[in-house]
Amino acid sequence: MTMLLLLATLAGRPGFAERAIDDASRMLPCVVYDVRADTEDLKIVLFYDGAGQRACARGALAVTAPGSRVVFLCPRFQRQTPELRAAVIVHEVLHSKGLKEDRHHSISITEEVFRRCGR
Ligand SMILES: [Zn+2]
């Protein structure tokens, strides 16, 4: 791994999210949704601190756009239980694979991931 690639990888995994990302990696193979994702998909998603993102100020736990490889984790994300943080990571990885939602759908995606694949 080149130094540049190493730095990019580290920048895409904030310390506060390391454990949630590892937990999500174990949950992903269990997830059956409109869009399939697996552990390999998680490796190419970049996670950034979302403080300052408008959606975070509106109460989101994390933000991305369908098809995007960049996920912003909001300050509220850090205050959730480890299980919920992992489910949120899975939720966002599903979006990065193209899963769309409207606002009302958002909570049900996370709840379904949590119910089927949480501990
Ligand atoms: Zn969502």
Residues 6+ apart with CB under 8 A from 65: 95
Report residue 24 as tokens. Answer: 């999500």
Q: How far is the CA of 86 from the centre of ligand 1 (A)?
A: 14
User: Pick the residue with more confidence: 66 or 118?
Assistant: 66
Distance CA 24, CA 83 (A): 9
pTM recorded for the entire structure: 0.81
Q: How far is the CA of 108 from the centre of ligand 1 (A)?
A: 9
Q: How far is the CA of 22 from the centre of ligand 1 (A)?
A: 20
DSSP 4: H
Distance CA 74, CA 49 (A): 6
Q: How far is the CA of 4 from the centre of ligand 1 (A)?
A: 31
Q: Is the pLDDT of residue 1 over 50?
A: no
Asked whether the beta carbons of 44 and 65 are under 8 A apart, the reply is: no
pLDDT digits (tens, 9 = 90+) for 44-93: 899 999 999 999 999 999 999 888 999 999 999 999 999 999 999 999 99
Q: How far is the CA of 70 from the centre of ligand 1 (A)?
A: 13
